[in-house]
Chain A
């Protein structure tokens, strides 16, 4: 691969097969896409902020967040932005 900014291949990863198997274990017949999760992310995050059980209330979103690191990062960032103590 070419990551010319770094100039090196990615570091060897000791657990590729585990990562793959974990991903397959989480794989479901029907999953929400990133766009579908993005549409619901504001509502999901407000519920989470309110201390609601989002896993039970919005299981498909919660499931996608386990699979997709970018959506997970955005959800965590949104929560951080909403709860930032800016006063």
Chain B
């Protein structure tokens, strides 16, 4: 491998229209592919995938990422090494692809139809029958506040994230919004819930301590 380029060399080489650009792109693909392979190999959820398949996954992710990097390198702000910035994009791309594959069958339609996202889902909490009275009381208040003070979209988003663990990008697609707007929707919901609980003299931190 050639000696590591400086950030300026990376930008200069990628801006070139000849051999320097081709060499930079090839270096980047190889650099990312090898590192992505090592990362994928360590993931417990891919433990049953054989090495050839992992190599292919890493190669595909690296290729896809480099296309994005070529498109976006002018946005590189220079806060880190160029390769770190490129790796960030590759990781985002790779994990995004894996999440899309894992959640490809998710549909929120049934959720909205059967209402299983409504706050009563909290009452299915499977704790011991000796649940403390205060905890039961808090749960009732939380359910009431969620029902009264959060919009249906906020309840749906909160349930999908909290209970189902749907990744935010997947949920944003399903809810026909973007991750930024969805994060803000959920954040507003969390803030409202917290405010209402505090108004009722309930501190989430204090109640949490009663669960231990």
Contact = CB atoms under 8 A, between A and B. Distances in A.
A27 B205 CA distance: 11
Interface in A58-81: 68-70, 73-74, 77-78, 80-81
Interface stretch (B10-18, B19-27, B32-40, B47-55): B32-40
Main secondary structure of the interface of B (DSSP, over half): helix
Contacts of A5: 104-105
Given A12-B126, A38-B92, A3 B35 contact: no
B187 A31 contact: yes
Interface of A: 1-5, 9-10, 12-25, 27, 29, 31, 33-35, 38-43, 45-46, 68-70, 73-74, 77-78, 80-82, 84-86
Interface in B183-203: 183-184, 187, 190-191, 193-194, 197
A20 B169 contact: no
A43 to B, nearest CB: 4
A74 B42 CA distance: 14
11 contacts: A2-B110, A9-B116, A22-B204, A25-B208, A33-B179, A42-B80, A43-B80, A70-B167, A77-B94, A82-B87, A86-B38
Contacts of A3: 105-106, 164
Contacts of B127: 14-15
A24 B193 contact: yes
Contacts of B99: 70
Given A1-B110, A5-B105, A21-B208, A80 B42 contact: yes
A12 B24 CA distance: 50
Contacts of A38: 88, 92
Nearest to A78: B91
Interface size class of B (residues with CB under 8 A): 35 or more
Given A1-B110, A4-B105, A42-B84, A22 B208 contact: yes
Contacts of A74: 88, 91-92, 95
Contacts of A80: 38-39, 42
A20 B116 CA distance: 17
A29 B88 contact: no
Interface string B86-117: 01101110110001000011111111000011
B175 interface: no
B122 A34 contact: no
A84 B38 contact: yes
A6 B126 CA distance: 22
B8 interface: no
Contacts of B80: 42-43, 45-46
Shortest 8 CB-CB contacts between residues of A and residues of B: A42-B80, A84-B38, A24-B204, A43-B79, A2-B110, A25-B204, A27-B190, A5-B105
